[in-house]
Amino acid sequence: MTAPAKAIAADLGRKAEDVACRYLEEQGLVVLSRNWRCREGELDVVATDGEQLVVCEVKCRSGSGRGDPVEAVTPEKLDRVRRVALRWLTEYRVGWVRLRFDVVAVEWPPDGPVRLRHVRGV
């Protein structure tokens, strides 16, 4: 991927995360962290519904050429997200808490409306 293509993809990713966070907040969640990083990886969104911590992986596609965004969340990716979520819990000194992993898939075609799908408890 060329540098301009990477910049365009990164911009689309940021916009998709903005859309995802607005959606989650409209669903009653409170966003606690965005793009939290440690040496093991990154968490796109960490939120709470008041009863549990919700870690959301945001996946965006601008077309159908790369498949369904949810399919990009492989078992290996989920393992990494779990490890990074444990780091987040340690960093913020959170004791025992119920934890849920979600995927927010954003499809943003250049010639059509944005479509969002929220898959809970992947």
CATH code: domain 3-119 is 3.40.1350.10
Q: What is the pLDDT of residue 64?
A: 60
Q: What is the pLDDT of residue 8?
A: 53
The dihedral formed by the CA atoms of 108, 14, 27 and 61, expressed in degrees to the nearest 10 = 30
Instruction: Say if residue 88's pLDDT is above 90.
Output: yes
Instruction: Say if residue 1's pLDDT is above 80.
Output: no
- Its pTM surpasses 0.75: yes
In this prediction, residue 5 has a pLDDT band, given cuts at 50, 70 and 90, of: very low
Judged by average pLDDT, the poorest of 26-35, 58-67, 82-91, 100-109 is 58-67
In this prediction, residue 65 has a pLDDT band, given cuts at 50, 70 and 90, of: low
Cα(37)–Cα(113) distance, rounded to whole angstroms? 31
Judged by average pLDDT, the poorest of 5-14, 30-39, 65-74, 113-122 is 5-14
Cα(37)–Cα(100) distance, rounded to whole angstroms? 19
Cα(54)–Cα(84) distance, rounded to whole angstroms? 13
